[in-house]
Amino acid sequence: MAIRSDGTVWAWGANNDGQLGINDTEADNKSTAVQVKGAEGEGVLSDITAISGGEDHSLALKSDGSVWAWGEDLHGQVGVNDNKGADKFYPVQVVGVDGVGSLTEVSSIAAGDDHSLALKIDGTVWAWGEDNDGQLGDNDGNGEDKLTPVQVKGSGGNGFLTDIVGIAAGEDHSLALKSDGTVWAWGENDDGQLGDNDDTKADKLTPVQVTGLAGAGNLTNVVAIAAGKDHSLVMKADGSVWAWGEDTDGQLGDNDSASSKPDKLTPVQVRDSSGSGFFDKATAISAGKDHSLALKSDGSAWAWGENLNGQIGNRDGTGSDQIVPVKVLELVVADTGDAADKSDVDVGNTPVTDTTAPNIFQGISTQGNGRYVRGTINLQAKATDDYGVSMVNYFLDVTSNLIGSSAINPYSVDWNTKSASNGRHNILTHAHDAARNNSNVSTYLNVDNYKPKTYGKRTMARRLSAKKAPRYLKLYRRYRAKQLKSKNRVLRRRYAKAKNKYLRAYRDAKKQMATARLKWKVRDPYTGNKSIVKLKIQKLVKSKVRSRRKARYLKQYRAWRAKYLKTKNRRLRARYKKQANKYLRAYRKT
């Protein structure tokens, strides 16, 4: 997720539980940024100052101190007191204690795997969601999910945790930073992520203070905290970085080269890139699932830990884990025109400067310049660059009207044409690389979301009686004779048309056919194109009189046949049989 300067929120990625907040009940994943909707799925979420993402749910903090959440709510992590646990596809406001009112006066938020944290301006911490490992810190030994916010208890369950200035949420554990620079933790402790030097690795239902190095004293002078899946990270005022918890992938950065790295139950200091000294001059930290990040005062980014998917950013094709911090490599730098201001980039150990713009060799113009479009269409382009295309943007008519962006080849976005007026529009495809070199391709499309107008003309259905069949046959024969007799070509065509008309009427009358002829004129308001649609409907209609008569004949036949079978008098049997056959013939004939 990302917050724009106007306070709106944008999201992309998995949407299986509605965690993108776009009110898409189909839960389709999005490869490009989409704007998070507002309450009830109307408008857009705005006035946001902070965001946080859990595994399948999202949190946002408004400038008025209210908290909004969306996505999976199976454990109550959205905080709306919904005991059904239904996914929320658009932002809903987090309720207050016991579901009364709303949570207010919040200054900071953090989303864990299936739980959520909020820090109020009075220094208290509130939590809701899954509590199976005590990650809510409310001293609930039953581990029941909390559908509404509960206040985090104090140490040993006495009072409440206060004087807090920062919070962080891991998968199933939570961290809090006090104004005195001490760190407190609670929740799951299977990998020592609470840092309390507990050999039993027991979960903690209330906050415990993180100890110092090797368990001596307590960790102090901390100014920033971060929580990974099962490890914790802090930055001290002197710029040093410390970590504890799981170290399987080197995420603690302590240069532990053992094949089976043990968990660290107390904080260890992160080493430098050589592995002999210590990392310093840190200004910010962040923790991923199994890797860690730090920003130095010179603006360089450093990472360590798991690198299976390239999350370290050191262009290591082997995907090897890093047990000490390595510098995140820059891709390219822009040419400012000042020879003294050109920065080198390490690409294969050869410093380079990128001045070449991306090449858009297949834009949306290949899909038909000037074609007519309606509804939602897919805009797609293909672009290349010597050092990689950073982003492809699509603009409608002017560069201030962004349709969408994509950073993944073939750089496609979906565009709902109903958001634009009907008529001709220019689509600008804009591609740029990391050095901000850019190129454009322009094309035009005709948006036509008009619905065709239909003018209907219908004639009443005509039911032809069998009694009229002889009349139609007589008229047919009359016009047929005239056609054969006449030598005038115009009259012959006229007589042939009349002849065929009465022949069809004769046949329909014999079949007791009901006929209706329908006619529509369809016109497209945008293009002015017209079309005529004609349709003839015929239905075979049964005579009610004949149906009743046939039923009467069948009834008489069965009555006489019953008499025939019952009597033993030969004369009467012959009479009854004659009568039964009479009504049977009448039944079959009708």
> Tell me: the pLDDT tens digits for 16-38?
999 999 998 877 788 889 999 99
pLDDT of 470 > 70? The answer is: yes
Indicate the average pLDDT of the chain. Answer: 87
128, 183, 194 from 125: Cα distances, Å: 11, 14, 17
CA distances from 510 to 460, 468, 507, 589 (A): 20, 9, 5, 15
pLDDT of 571 higher than 50? yes
CA–CA gap between residue 291 and residue 271 (Å, rounded): 14
**How far is the C-alpha of 175 from the C-alpha of 293, rounded, in Å?**
17
> Is a pLDDT exceeding 80 seen at residue 173?
yes
Confidence bin at 348 (pLDDT 50/70/90):
very low
Would you say residue 566 has pLDDT above 80? yes
Which whole number is the average pLDDT over 360-371? 62
Bigger pLDDT: 401 or 114? 114
pLDDT confidence band for 351 (50 / 70 / 90): very low
Q: Would you state the pLDDT for residue 352?
A: 53
Annotated domain spans of the chain: 359-447, 544-589
Give CA–CA dist 589/118, Å, rounded.
89
Give per-residue pLDDT as tens, 54-68.
999 999 999 999 999
pLDDT of 365 above 70? no
Task: Please report the pLDDT score of residue 366 as a whole number.
Answer: 42
Q: 202-214: string of b/e by CB count within 10 Å (b at 16+)?
A: ebbbbbbbbbbee
* Spatial separation of the C-alpha atoms in residues 211 and 197, rounded to whole Å: 7
Residue-level pLDDT at 119 = 96
* Average of per-residue pLDDT across 282-296: 94
In angstroms and rounded to an integer, the radius of gyration of the C-alpha atoms of the chain is: 41
Give me 60's structure tokens: 């946002």
Asked whether residue 337 carries a pLDDT value surpassing 60, the answer given is no
pLDDT, residue 346, reads 39
| Fold type of domain 359-447 | Immunoglobulin-like (2.60.40)
Q: What DSSP designation does 328 have?
A: P
Q: Of 48-52, 329-333, 481-485, give the lowest mean pLDDT range.
A: 329-333
Residue 338 is predicted with a pLDDT of: 42
Per-residue pLDDT averaged across 501-510, rounded? 84
Would the pTM of this model clear 0.75, i.e. be above it? no
DSSP 552-575: HHHHHHHHHHHHHHH---HHHHHH
Angle (deg, nearest 10), helices 544-566 and 570-589: 160
**Mean pLDDT computed over 75-86:** 91
| Run of H or E residues at 510 | helix 489-511
Lowest mean pLDDT among 7-16, 244-253, 376-385: 376-385
Tell me how many degrees the CA angle 193-194-196 measures, rounded to the nearest 5.
Answer: 125
Judged against a pLDDT cut of 90, whether residue 331 lies above it is answered with no
Phi first, then psi, for residue 215 (nearest 5°) are 85, 5
The three-point CA angle 234-236-240 to 5° equals 90
Give the bridge partners for 474, in sequence order: none
pLDDT in tens, 405-460: 887 777 888 889 888 888 888 888 888 887 778 888 888 888 888 877 777 666 55
pLDDT of residue 362: 57
Task: Give the model's pLDDT for residue 364.
Answer: 58
Share above pLDDT 90 across residues of the chain, in percent, rounded to a whole number: 58
Is residue 343 predicted with pLDDT exceeding 80? Answer: no
**What does the pLDDT read at residue 334?**
42
Confidence check: pLDDT of 339 > 80 = no
Token pair belonging to 87: 């996914």
- Other beta carbons within 10 angstroms of residue 270's beta carbon come to 27
91 membership: H or E segment, kind and range:
strand 88-93
For the ranges 93-102, 414-423, 446-455, 487-496, which has the lowest average pLDDT?
446-455
Q: Per-residue pLDDT for 475 more than 80?
A: yes
Q: What is the pLDDT of residue 381?
A: 83
Q: Above 60 in pLDDT, residue 468?
A: yes
Please compute, for residue 307, the number of CA atoms within 13 A of its CA located in the half-sphere on the CB side: 23
Q: What's the pLDDT at 413?
A: 87
Q: How far apart are CA 291 and CA 268, in angstroms?
A: 15
